[in-house]
Amino acid sequence: MTAVATRRATARPAGFATDLMSIAGRALRGALREPEAVLPALVIPIFFFAVNVGALENIGPAVGIEDYRAFQLPVAIIFAVTGVNRAQALQQDIVGGYFDRLLIAPVKRSALLLGLLVADFVLVIVLSIPVLVLGAVVGVEYATGAAGLIVFLLIAGLWGIAFNGFSYAIALRTASAGAVGASFILFFPFAFLTTTFVPEDALTGWLATVAVYNPVTYVLAALRSLISEGWDAAALAGGLVAILIVAVVSFTLSTLALRGRISRG
């Protein structure tokens, strides 16, 4: 009996870090088995980059942009990292009953959500690399050098996981495949009611007003500063604050949805 008790004791999870990495590892393995769920994150940004540059590059000098390709690369990276998540897999786990089994297992509740976000961060970083390679191929250089490139990648990744909180909130709240699939629509106001095509000082009317309150405006400004201006502390701080605000809102919603799901379970 003592040996059995010892084996049972050693079989218990080591703690939060173990739970976190277990959830993240499972999510990453699931992504590898379902490449069709993440490949659009490569096709969409490359498509928009090619179309935007091809159609609008000639207007760059007229609106004060010296290198329109460098101006558009942050837009492509935002498209690459936004909406890349395992929310659809989470929805399937809820419907299939696997999530309920996790709830009765000795797993830290916070790790159920944070583990997925860790996996998302890895995914968006990996998916960003081909977009950065595309930028290098077309001649985009970084005024901040290699260090700036790393910061560029990290800021993009942080934005990606900050936005993903909304998708997980929807998955946990509704357990609906349709609702989760439609969650990407939330990104369109962020993506297009901002400085996607021209600088902020070239915007007019209501669009200029909306752009001031759009967090993506500040994220794009931070990313563009790393390419064209150098280490601009104000632009970088503005981008990070914007990401933090979105993260607080989205993570609060997803945490509340997780608590609701746990209480119902």
Residue spans of the domains in the chain: they are: 2-264
pLDDT for 14 equals 58
In terms of pTM, does the model score above 0.85? yes
Q: Furthest-apart CA pair in the chain: how many Å?
A: 82
- Report d(CA 219, CA 242) in Å as an integer: 7
- Report d(CA 213, CA 182) in Å as an integer: 23
12 burial level (CB within 10 Å; 0-12, 13-18, 19+): exposed
pLDDT tens-digit series, residues 62-73: 888 888 999 999
AA letter at 252: T
pLDDT tens-digit series, residues 23-44: 999 888 888 887 777 777 778 8
Which residue carries 């990996």 as its tokens?
A: 126
pLDDT tens-digit series, residues 220-238: 999 999 999 999 999 999 9
pLDDT tens-digit series, residues 134-170: 889 989 999 999 999 999 999 999 999 999 999 999 9
Residue 64, Ramachandran bin (φ over 0: left; ψ between -120 and 50: alpha; else beta): left
| Cβ neighbours for 45, distance < 8 A, ≥ 6 positions apart | 76, 77, 78, 79, 80, 131
Q: Are 148 and 226 in contact (CB under 8 A)?
A: yes
Tokens of 168: 């997980």
Query: Would you say residue 186 has pLDDT above 50?
Result: yes
Q: Are 220 and 194 in contact (CB under 8 A)?
A: yes
Query: Would you say residue 5 has pLDDT above 70?
Result: no
Side-chain half-sphere exposure of 106, counting CA atoms within 13 A? 8
